[in-house]
A and B are shown apart, each in its own frame.
Chain A
Amino acid sequence: DAKTTQPNSMESNEEEPVHLPCNHSTISGTDYIHWYRQLPSQGPEYVIHGLTSNVNNRMASLAIAEDRKSSTLILHRATLRDAAVYYCILRDSWSNQGGKLIFGQGTELSVKP
């Protein structure tokens, strides 16, 4: 399984944008880039995913480098409820069998009021 590298922790101020980086230099052409987050005492929650193009949804934006070896999850205005562990995960789409998600350690985001 292709690996991802994320900073262990990041801090942000409330109502400011947050850019969470992820390196995935061994990504294959058929890997989707997924982001999940886990709030304290809750199960992981899907945030966003993409393949090549940048993606936006109501929760966040995903910026993918042209060579796909890195990506950045963007929270446009952090709130206290965004404090969580954010996981960047590669998921193989080559076979129609889908594939398991392998979680790393993630980035623990803290948001200061």
Chain B
Amino acid sequence: GAGVSQSPRYKVTKRGQDVALRCDPISGHVSLYWYRQALGQGPEFLTYFNYEAQQDKSGLPNDRFSAERPEGSISTLTIQRTEQRDSAMYRCASSPERAGNSPLHFGNGTRLTVT
């Protein structure tokens, strides 16, 4: 079946612009996670949702970053007034259950470049 889908695959934007990154999880998956990954580093947790409720946003770097999942399915990560340091791979994952023994399924990511 279809995996986690992220769009766009690549996004180049100018400093100061807002960007919206989309994640379409596996159908029926309860939990959705956002991560950011710099080159050569492990994924860095940003935020996660159970259904439409944002459970933890402790990883969002500052108030320019926000995420929503209004209907408990598709999620959008928005970065306002982008800066060069925001350039990274942004990865979304979903999980069928909330339980801690439920595996995460990752998408292929969105490569964001801020010029």
A positions within 8 Å CB-CB of B: 30-32, 34, 36, 42-46, 49, 51, 85, 87, 91-94, 96-106
B contacts with A, residue count (CB < 8 A) = 29
Q: Which residues of B contact A85 (CB under 8 A)?
A: 42
A-B contact count (CB 8 A): 67
Q: Is B100 an interface residue (CB 8 A)?
A: yes
User: In the complex the two chains form, is A103's CB within 8 Å of B43's CB?
Assistant: yes
Return the contact of B104 from the options A31, A44, A104, A105 (Cβ within 8 A): A44
Are A99 and B100 within 8 A (Cβ)?
Answer: yes
Interface of A is mostly: loop
Whether A103 lies near B44 (C-beta < 8 A) is: yes
Contact indicator B107/A43 (Cβ below 8 Å): yes
Residues of B within 8 A of A (CB): 31, 33, 35, 41-45, 48, 50, 55-56, 59, 91, 93, 95, 97-109
From A42, A100, A106, contact of B56 by CB (8 A): A100
Q: How many angstroms from the CA of A43 to the CA of B42 in the assembled complex?
A: 10
Q: List residues of chain B with CB within 8 A of the CB of A91.
A: 100-101
Contact of B109 among A31, A43, A51, A99 (CB under 8 A): A43
Residue of B nearest to A45 (CB): B106
The reply to whether B97 and A104 contact each other, CB–CB distance below 8 Å, is: no
Q: Please tell me if the beta carbons of B103 and A49 are within 8 angstroms of each other in the complex.
A: yes
Which residue of chain B has the shortest Cβ distance to A47 in the bound complex?
Answer: B103
Q: Which of B42, B91, B107, B108 has the most CB of A within 10 A?
A: B42
In contact, B42 and A97 (Cβ under 8 angstroms): no
Contacts of B41 in A (CB 8 A): 105
Query: Which 5 residue pairs are nearest across A and B when measured between Cβ atoms?
Result: A93-B100, A43-B106, A103-B42, A46-B103, A98-B98
What residues of chain B lie closer than 8 Å to A49, measured between beta carbons? 101, 103
Between A30, A31, A32, the greatest number of chain B beta carbons within 10 A of the residue's beta carbon is seen for A32
